């Protein structure tokens, strides 16, 4: 139903989430980190970007603020593994920078899918 860009550095989580999103009939493009995601965004404009916050190279937070500038209509969902330093602080920050909603791992995938549907629905209403 939607074009989703998944940005996640953990291989297992990336593969699992891709399957979960595909099962929900979404079209998924994957990126291993922020830099790869920025590259993909040059040619593709997804409806939703689901990105991890703490990643090597370009961090998820930087990605979010950059993307929000160039693709203001794209919905962003931030996810985080928690643990290091102050994870909830990062999630709050990501929301202030442009993420519509954030989740802490391990995520309830049903809730994630519902959030995606709601955001899409909202977008459709606007456009």
Partner 1 sequence: MNTAKKSSLAYLTALVGIIISFTLWHLIKTNTLDLYVAWIILGMGIALSFLLAVLIHTIQLGSHRAVSSAQISKDLKKETAARTHAEEGRQRLEVALLQGQKLQAIGTLAGGIAHDFNNILYAVKGYTEMSREDVPQDSVTYKNLGKVLEAIARGQELVARILTFSRRQHHDFSAMDMDTTIEAALALLRPTIPAGVIIDYQVKAHSTILGNQTLLHQILVNVINNAVDAMDEQGTITLTLTRVVAGDPELERFPQLSRQNYCKIEIKDTGHGMDQQTAERMFEPFFTTKEVGKGTGLGLSIVHSIMQEHQGGIAVTSKLGRGTILTLLFPEQQGENHGKNSASRR
In angstroms, what is the C-alpha Rg of the chain? 13
Q: Which is nearer to partner 1, 92 or 104 (CB)?
A: 104
SS3 53: coil
Binding site for partner 1 (CB under 8 A): 10, 12-13, 15-17, 19-20, 23, 54, 81-87, 104-107, 109
Other Cβ atoms closer than 10 A to 118: 13
Q: In 3D, which of 113, 100, 27, 105 has the Cα closest to residue 64?
A: 100
Q: How far is the CB of 109 from partner 1 (least distance, A)?
A: 6
Q: How far is the CB of 110 from partner 1 (least distance, A)?
A: 8
Q: Which is nearer to partner 1, 10 or 66 (CB)?
A: 10
Q: Which is nearer to partner 1, 41 or 55 (CB)?
A: 55
Tokens of 62: 């930087």
Q: How far is the CB of 70 from partner 1 (least distance, A)?
A: 29
Residue with token string 């549907």: 117
Q: Which is nearer to partner 1, 70 or 105 (CB)?
A: 105
Q: How far is the CB of 32 from partner 1 (least distance, A)?
A: 14
Tokens of 102: 């954030």
Q: Residue 68 and residue 101: Cα distance in Å, rounded? A: 14
């Amino acid at each position: 139903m939607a074009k989703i860009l998944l940005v996640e550095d953990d291989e297992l989580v990336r593969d699992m989430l891709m399957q979960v999103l595909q099962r929900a009939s979404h079209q998924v493009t994957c990126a291993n980190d922020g830099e790869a995601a920025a590259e993909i965004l040059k040619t593709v404009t997804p409806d939703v970007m689901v990105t991890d916050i703490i990643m090597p190279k370009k961090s998820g937070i930087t990605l979010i603020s950059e993307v929000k500038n160039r693709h203001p209509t794209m919905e962003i969902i931030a996810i985080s593994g928690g643990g290091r330093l102050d994870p909830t602080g990062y999630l709050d920050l990501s929301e202030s920078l442009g993420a519509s909603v954030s989740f802490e791992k391990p995520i309830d995938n049903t809730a994630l899918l519902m959030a995606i549907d709601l955001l899409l629905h909202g977008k459709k209403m606007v456009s």
